Amino acid sequence: MIGKTVFETRYGFARNKVLLGNWRESPFSRWSFQNVGELVPSAPVAAAAGASEAPAQDMTGLLGEKVALAGGPESVAAFLKRSDTDGLTIMKGGKIVGDWLAPHMDFGARHIIFSISKSLTAIVAGILEGEGIFDPDAPVTQYIPEAAGSAYGDASVRHVLDMSVSLDFEEAYLEPESAFARYRRATLWNPGGGTESLREFILTLQRLAEPHGQTFRYRSPNSDLLGMLLERASGQRFTELLREKLWQPLGAASEASVTVDMQGTARTAGGISVTPRDLARVGEMMRQGGTVNGRRVVPEAWVRDTVETGGSSEAWQRGTMAFLFPQGRYRNKWCQTGAQSGAFCGIGIHGQWLYVNPKAEIVIAKMSSQPLPADDPLDLDMVTFFEALGRMV
């Protein structure tokens, strides 16, 4: 009798069981979230020249600490397991103080960050704005004239950046016959793609009657459109922009990647994969006001506007995520929590988080393979967990 392969022993299933139709489902996501490029066409983003990674930093001492969550006290180790954590990196005062990895994830492995991709894309937008190449107050049609017949025909780039486009579209993650499923086919994330490009799909979307700018509506096509806007403004492919403007100046130690559609258009709303360490470096750069080791990467004014002063609290309150941060705001694809600590974050489905607490000088990058795309009770526990870690470290 033939025994289990090494792959089956590690993941609990055979590689040939992971398909384009199930890669975001548990348990297959434990592997596929680290290997998206085997399922969806992806483009590389080179690391910084000469960059190297220090060894993993043990955080065993933290694992037994208890956190007071909604269901009662729970150890850090138990919560990491319950929240299907694949990888975790903690920084304190600019230094790595802890790494944790599930048995099925290797140190230095890339992991898809889903909608934290939006936050990285917006950083590139901020850099181009600072260079005078990109205008956040311009109409979308200044860069993409063919958007005139879509929901974006009378929208501004600012509406796109702040998710306040009055877009007639729902994030129906689990509905197989929805417009969202068609969207995912256009990104090549679902079977049946290849007949409609991502750009073609987005330009069919129509608007609601409400004026743009009034309500925070979390709609991922906005962020794919942002990537296209950056390409039109700069004349460069998004992967080139990400490498040249952010990834290499950041000092990223590992190559990143981003999924692309049939025309090579980057899935800037959710297709970026990076290591936990490099994601934490992004958070630390934002905590430092846009600098890395004293070098300016992102304009300070843009960072301050994004994580401190910008965004409409009224628009946020009208949206569906106000339960998570009752005093929050949303600006440039980042969430401001409204907490006294000044904490802000990027969030992705299936449990991806980049949490920054300026007061505690804490950055936490958490990558996960949660079975559900969205889990509101678990997200509330997650915020409590991050706040507690900030006190422990």
Q: What are 128-169's pLDDT values in tens digits?
A: 999 999 999 999 999 999 999 999 999 999 999 999 999 999
Q: Is the pLDDT of residue 1 over 50?
A: no
Give pLDDT, residue 3: 73
Q: How far is CA 359 from the centre of its chain?
A: 23
For residue 104, the model assigns a pLDDT of 97
The reply to whether 34 falls in a domain is no
Tell me which of 29, 32, 42, 115 is the catalytic residue. Answer: 115
Over residues 297-313, the pLDDT tens digits come to 999 999 999 999 999 99
| pTM of the predicted model as reported, rounded to 2 decimal places | 0.97
Cβ–Cβ under 8 Å, residues 311 and 321: no
- The answer as to whether 220 is a domain residue is no
Residue 21 lies in a domain: no
In a domain, 30, yes or no: no
In a domain, residue 365? The reply is yes
255 in a structural domain: yes
26 is catalytic: no
**pLDDT of amino acid 64:** 96
Mean pLDDT, rounded, for 343-368: 98
pLDDT > 70 in the chain, percent: 99
Distance separating alpha carbons of residues 267 and 149, to the nearest angstrom: 22
pLDDT for residue 77: 98
Residue 163 contacts residue 222 (beta carbons within 8 Å)? yes
Q: Distance (Å, rounded) from C-alpha 306 to C-alpha 219?
A: 19
Rama region for 389: left / alpha / beta (φ>0; ψ in -120 to 50; rest): alpha
Q: What angle do CA 222, 227, 233 make, to 5 degrees?
A: 115
Assess whether pLDDT exceeds 60 at residue 271: yes
153 found inside a domain: no
CA of residue 157 relative to chain centroid, distance? 19
Average pLDDT over residues 72-99: 98
Domain residues for the domain of 106 are: 44-137+236-392
Per-residue pLDDT band for 2 (boundaries 50, 70, 90) equals: low
| pLDDT value, residue 257 | 98
Question: Each residue of 171-197: pLDDT tens digit?
Answer: 877 777 789 999 999 999 999 999 999
Q: Which long-range contacts (CB under 8 A, 24 or more apart) does 100-103 make?
A: 100/59, 100/63, 101/56, 102/30, 103/10
Mind giving me the DSSP string for 211-229? PTTSS----THHHHHHHHH
Structure tokens at 108: 């230095």
Burial per residue of 206-243, b for 16 or more beta-carbon CB atoms within 10 angstroms, e otherwise: ebeeeebbebbbbbbbbbbbbbbbbbebbebbbbebbb
Mean pLDDT, the chain, whole residue set: 97
Who contacts 378 (Cβ-Cβ below 8 Å, separation ≥6)? Answer: 83, 351, 370
Mean pLDDT over 214-218 rounds to 97
Q: What CATH number should be reported for the domain holding residue 319?
A: 3.40.710.10
The answer to whether residue 359 sits within a structural domain is yes
pLDDT (mean) for 381-387: 97
Q: How far apart are CA 386 and CA 118, in angstroms?
A: 21
Residue 175: predicted pLDDT: 79
> How many structural domains is the chain composed of?
1
Q: Residue 168 has what pLDDT?
A: 96
Contact yes or no for 355/336 (Cβ under 8 A): no
